[in-house]
Structure 1
Amino acid sequence: MRKQGTRYLRYRRRPVTENSAGILHTESPALLGSFPTSSATNFRYSTDGFLVFSDSVYADGNLTTVKEQDEAWENRGTSALVYDHTYERHWDHWVLPKSQALFSVRLTQGPDHKWTFGSEFVNLLAGTSHSSPVEPFGGTDDFDVSKQTVIYTTLDPTLSPAWHTKQNVYIVDVAGGSKPRELTSSALKGQTHSPILNENADKAAWLELDKDGYESDRAKIVIYDLKKDVRFTLTQKWDRSPDSLAFSKEGDFIYFTAGDHAKVKVFVFPIPATPEKSTTDPDLSPKYLTPVPIVEDGASSGLQTLYNGRVLISKSSFTSPNDVFLVRGLDDLQVQIAQTEGAAKFTGKVEQITNLTDLKEKKLSKVEEFWFKGAEDIDVQGWILKPKGWKEGEKKAHPVVLLIHGGPQSAWEDQWSTRWNPNVFAQQGYFVVAINPTGSSTFGQAFTDAISGDWGGKPFVDLQKGWKHVLDTYPEIDSDRAVAAGASWGGYAINWIQGHPEYNFGFKALVCHDGVFHTTYTGYATEELFFFNQDWHGRPWEKEAKELAEKYNPSNFVDKWSTPQLWIHGSKDYRLPETEGIGAFHAHQQLGIPSRLVIFPDENHWVLKHGNSLKWHYEVFRWFNEFVGEKN
């Protein structure tokens, strides 16, 4: 048995081999060493012989005393938690005395060629008030490791994280013993993420947002020349937001993923010569202004560059969970880019090298894309999936569900999900409509920004027009058996639609998951206060914010509610507390309208546990079936 509170790390003793696809194979695990805690995670390796990882520690930053301090905390004689500053709770947990830190431990190889841990776990953030990875979702994408250095992003410790999003980027020696050096500009106000180092560790890159308090601002690629101490922005004029980065092995190109028209594509940029001084708007020739797309279908992630013009990715779609793909022929593309000005085109191959998600004899509904004119005559995009058993030309044969995404600065992207999966609804016999209205991401920053202060405005013009377009296009849809569901902002949309029968959607039943019922109250009760302050143009008691929030407050229209509705909420949802769902349910109950409440005491904003996920789907389809299901 392993000791309580201890974690072991094993390595592979036999030599590592690489097959023709560039995939590594190893055998025979051996014990490398043990950690003082059981919570070490996010491992990265330095080729100079260091293992870098993250763990939670107390204020002294000492990893070896965590177990002892944990016991003292558990036996403190009270359950009271006392706070002088926010956060007091975040996402799904109450904030306790520990915080995240990065550690390194030296790896040594003995005469028998066995690797073992060194004697010291070095806290690379000691004495800084920094915390990385950034909670609640930070992982290995919040730091990177080269031979001798570690680069990381951290929230600015001088600002309240509840109403500021400013993050700085630092670099520190992997062996510790030195003070981290800041790489970001003192003028930076917004968030940073995805810091990386190139193979030679002479250049760094990260993603940077200009605006404080706005997580959905446009992300830009920043390059930092560590030798010249010069930083410059690469994508100042490109109207999309990259979300992960990787240098080519040679360091002269940068690959990245970015959402574009509801797909997550892989792109490449050449890295220009370093300017003489730091700038956010360098003078660049055309080939540095627009990236070249490489993988344009589905949703790519897990980007890793290899030698010989290859990149490894994971890719999913509405019809397939993630598989691993190898992109070949990038060396030829790099030559094209170097020799032309903006005319390069990828002609290589994207090869699927795993079949982890082969459905064999099972079939899923294919997705179709559609466009229509929305609010202010702007082109708006959506997806439709035909139901299981669909036959062309059948009149009013199938019910239809409108799914409304959260965010609101998000999108229905062509990717797999284990939570809100349109194909699950299609397999239940529904036409599935998923529209990306005003406020959605991947369609340009202006479209994303346009929902600010207008939650109940243009997005619902888009949804109405998109709904009409679908009903006019597909005669197989039975519009008398229409339902709708949404989560988070999508849940807000469901509550808003309840109070606006003039929209004439004709829904027979609705489902709201963890949605907003009282906009103004959420400005006080949510943990990330910056979100309300950004989207409503101020704090909830300030004039403009208060007027806008009350204008688009679903609770002000309860007297117009009439449609049967199911509310689902997680008790550990501190983004939108469960009282949002409970309060709306109470209103429906007093109005005498058919309604149901499902509470998951152990879930947060998302339903993640397997049994709970099955129950979630069962309750949603049971509810819809009561109102639009086949008779008997």
Structure 2
Amino acid sequence: MTLTATKFTPKVMLSAPRRSPGVPSPSGKLALYTVSSYSFDSHKKSSQIRALDIDSGESVSVVEESGASEPVWLGDDEVLYLKSGDNGSTTLVVRHLKPDTSSYEAGSVKGPISNVKVKKLSNSTIAFACSALTTPDGKLYNPETEKKPQSSAKVYTSLFARHWDAWNSENTSSLFYGVLEQKDGKYSLRDNALTHALAGTKLSSPVPPFGGTGDFDIGPAGLVFVAKDPELNAAIYTKTDLYFIPLETFTESNPPAPQIVKTPGLEGYSNSPVFSSCGRKVAFTRMRSNQYESDKPRLLVVPDITNPDRTEEFYATKDGHGGWDARPDSILWSHDDAKLYVTAEHHARTLIFELPSTPSKATSLPTPISTPDGSVFSFYLLPSSTSTPTQNANPNNLFVTTTSLIDNSCYSITSPSTSTFTIISSASKQGKSFGLTRSSLDTITFRGAGGDYDVHALVVRPSTFSKNDGKKYPLCMLIHGGPQGAWQDSWSTRWNPAVFAEQGYVVVCPNPTGSTGCGMALEDGIRGEWGGRPYNDLVRCFEWVVENMPEVDGNRAVALGASYGGYMINWIQGHPLGRKFKALVCHDGVFSTLNQWSTEELFFPIHDFEGTLYENREGYEKWDPARFVGEWATPQLIIHSELDYRLPVTEGLAAFNVLQAKKVPSKLLMFPDENHWVLKHENSLVWHREVLGWINKYSGIEDEQKLAEKVEGLKV
């Protein structure tokens, strides 16, 4: 499944094959992944499960059938995957990779399951774990067989009433486990049944709305998982605890009660629990604040999971701030458990850091190991017993999946000991399939508004750019959401800077106050400053670009943003910077901060606006874009979706109503079937058409395109 294009357009980007992270086989000779693509001719999506030969970089199709998903290795040449069945059931299918072999069913579950993990227990048994929705009485939920109510009414007496893009129901996410047994060369699910691990506990895992396999792990000692504190209001507090369920055989029909892992002084999000190679230790992260979703995660280890009362923190300091000014995320143990490999953001990239696995031995801050350009998406340990020609004999080589601003999927082998890497496969040939190269990318640094910090920004120029031709390109400023987020050197099909650059813009993506990856001081500086320091950083960015980048035409500038970036577009609209732009685009933005309590995760405004609406109304009013609607004058496109419960559609309607009443050129684009993100291929194509059409009209690029088409027509 390949695609080659001479120009990178929205349709090219959306049609391009999308690969999942590669997962190496037990021997390290193959890597398993899924790939999907969409055809705008047939209006259909196709998908495959494929196996990559790590030495040659060649791949073969393993499974190509509708409803197949979530492949995992059972052995070096056997793959298990899920297949949707009749009446909402799920079939466990095993496929042998040897030629002339057929697949077979290993079991069937009477409902939808997902987030599969397996762990080999012996030569003939494999522990199996997954997640699924359960009913209030603890039974597996199946929407196909559930009795339909006669009324559509919903009644709530506690939060959440709705979350992300769905109204909450009584059903909750839970974990299940079982055993796959091998007999006569075939695996089968023992008793064709799974055990509900959290029955009767009031605990729910993975944590909605985005929890997945990163919320739990499976090891020879049992299960570890994170779950919200059932005694706290989930909409107001971020606290999630780590729990351990001891299991000896994974055949226990009545699992022991979950044991909480104690972390004194840390009461925020717990994430990324991972068993050590020996299965006795667990590493994970946890935040300190129980009302700050973007607090700094602290890296911790449980030396002996059978004693969950004892944890050790890496780089702990007496003041509680922690000595490593980074945000550790994914975690991997070395084969001998002596080292940890941890991902963290660092100046617009996600990198892998190596450190000792014992906190007392971590006496110096970790440094990143070398990986391909871009950001690490996932990484796995390769086996130490064997090596292929591509791999040296280092026992801790990593199979790494990265993406970048020009490459949507790259698989490589990285050696931590030598900090070198070898690229195995790039889905877009490192951007060449899209007509993109690294030469179009750049970074700039300018002094922030506070005067004592620097602000970094990514820059993407058109692939046809030449600094010697004297041509000026209109500025396209992209403002990221979050606000605790960042533009990264990574791939996106929703906000891809290269799509805008290929229209003929110099695209600048600043990471102002509130951004992650540049230290917690910059990130935390946005609290109580939504329209303050970040706005002034953007003013500084605009001024720096115009003064220092001669290829940029600041008189034809446009600005776009989504979520918090959409808030900032509305804020800019009412302030002097708004008059510097020819056009603005606001996607799912905030019209009024006084409406922030119409959101679902209330801990977010409580933290960022320094209190509740009734305790600190002045803090909400201070940064309210609606206070300045009298100044709104720049043409603006408003985009909003009806399933966006984080920022309800009325925020977009209010902004559009103001613009129309003031007779400011404006347009409303609404999606009834999308949430905070526009994900459907056909909708995304419309999104890009409207967005690019809007900014091209006001920047003058539309006239340039028409002139070029006219000249080309005369040549013909």
Aligned to 2:46: none
Aligned to 2:74: none
Classify 1:14/1:473 alpha carbon distance in 2 versus 1 (closer, same or farther; 3 Å). Answer: closer
Aligned to 2:76: none
Q: Hey, what's the Cα distance between the residues in 2 that align with 1:589 and 1:388?
A: 37
Aligned to 1:247: 333
Q: Hey, what's the Cα distance between the residues in 2 that align with 1:34 and 1:28?
A: 18
Pair 1:12 & 2:84 matched: no
Q: Hey, what's the Cα distance between the residues in 2 that align with 1:27 and 1:468?
A: 65
Aligned to 1:234: 314
Pair 1:429 & 2:504 matched: yes
Q: Hey, what's the Cα distance between the residues in 2 that align with 1:79 and 1:362?
A: 48
Is 2:435–2:463's contact at 8 Å kept on the other side of the alignment? no
Aligned to 2:484: 409
Amino acid of the residue matched to residue 600 of structure 1? F
Amino acid of the residue matched to residue 8 of structure 1? T
Aligned to 2:622: 551
Deviations 1:256-293 (A, max 9, x none): 11001111011111122xxxxxxxxx7x45x4331131
Q: Hey, what's the Cα distance between the residues in 1 that align with 2:89 and 2:692?
A: 44
Query: Aligned to 1:566, what secondary structure does the other structure show?
Result: strand
The worse-fitting range, judged by mean Cα deviation, of 409-418 and 620-629 is 620-629
Amino acid of the residue matched to residue 464 of structure 1? V
Deviations 1:3-58 (A, max 9, x none): 2211111113467xxxxxxxxx9974321111111x20000012122210000010
Q: Hey, what's the Cα distance between the residues in 1 that align with 2:203 and 2:578?
A: 52
Once the two structures are superposed, the pairs formed by residues 74-85 of structure 1 within 5 Å of their partners are 74=148, 76-85=149-158
Q: Hey, what's the Cα distance between the residues in 2 that align with 1:215 and 1:195?
A: 18
TM-score, normalised via structure 1 length: 0.89
Query: Aligned to 1:438, what secondary structure does the other structure show?
Result: coil
Q: Hey, what's the Cα distance between the residues in 2 that align with 1:78 and 1:498?
A: 44
Deviations 1:293-324 (A, max 9, x none): 11364110212122322111111111111211
Deviations 1:108-165 (A, max 9, x none): 222x221111123101111111111111001100001112311100011110100000
Aligned to 2:133: 56
Where structure 1 has 5 or more consecutive residues not aligned to the other structure, the ranges are 16-24, 273-281, 334-346
Superposition RMSD in Å:
1.9
Please point out which of 380, 391, 394 is paired with 1:304: 380
Once the two structures are superposed, the pairs formed by residues 443-462 of structure 1 within 5 Å of their partners are 443-462=518-537
Amino acid of the residue matched to residue 350 of structure 1? F
Amino acid of the residue matched to residue 33 of structure 1? G
Aligned to 2:686: 615
Query: Aligned to 1:623, what secondary structure does the other structure show?
Result: helix
Classify 1:504/1:348 alpha carbon distance in 2 versus 1 (closer, same or farther; 3 Å). Answer: closer
Classify 1:362/1:117 alpha carbon distance in 2 versus 1 (closer, same or farther; 3 Å). Answer: closer
Aligned to 1:3: 86
State the 1:570 CA deviation: 1.1
Please point out which of 241, 249, 255 is paired with 1:168: 241
State the aligned residue count: 586
Q: Hey, what's the Cα distance between the residues in 2 that align with 1:409 and 1:35?
A: 40
State the 1:106 CA deviation: 1.8
Aligned to 1:488: 563
Aligned to 2:221: 148
Is 1:234–1:288's contact at 8 Å kept on the other side of the alignment? no
Query: Aligned to 2:607, what secondary structure does the other structure show?
Result: helix
Aligned to 1:375: 449
Aligned to 2:187: 115
Is 2:407–2:427's contact at 8 Å kept on the other side of the alignment? no
Aligned to 1:349: 420
Once the two structures are superposed, the pairs formed by residues 88-237 of structure 1 within 5 Å of their partners are 88-110=161-183, 112-119=184-191, 120-174=193-247, 175=250, 176=252, 177-185=255-263, 187-226=265-304, 230-236=310-316, 237=323
Aligned to 1:339: none
Q: Hey, what's the Cα distance between the residues in 1 that align with 2:589 and 2:262?
A: 36
State the 1:73 CA deviation: 4.1
Classify 1:271/1:288 alpha carbon distance in 2 versus 1 (closer, same or farther; 3 Å). Answer: farther
Q: Hey, what's the Cα distance between the residues in 2 that align with 1:208 and 1:551?
A: 32
Amino acid of the residue matched to residue 239 of structure 1? D
Q: Hey, what's the Cα distance between the residues in 1 that align with 2:670 and 2:428?
A: 32
Aligned to 1:579: 650
Q: Hey, what's the Cα distance between the residues in 2 that align with 1:2 and 1:538?
A: 49
Aligned to 2:106: 32
Classify 1:464/1:360 alpha carbon distance in 2 versus 1 (closer, same or farther; 3 Å). Answer: closer
Is 1:388–1:428's contact at 8 Å kept on the other side of the alignment? no
Q: Hey, what's the Cα distance between the residues in 2 that align with 1:536 and 1:292?
A: 35
Query: Aligned to 1:567, what secondary structure does the other structure show?
Result: strand
After TM superposition, the runs of 4+ consecutive aligned structure 1 residues lying more than 6 A away are none
State the 1:464 CA deviation: 1.0
Pair 1:591 & 2:662 matched: yes
Query: Aligned to 1:214, what secondary structure does the other structure show?
Result: coil
TM-score, normalised via structure 2 length: 0.79
Q: Hey, what's the Cα distance between the residues in 2 that align with 1:148 and 1:44?
A: 15
Query: Aligned to 1:585, what secondary structure does the other structure show?
Result: helix
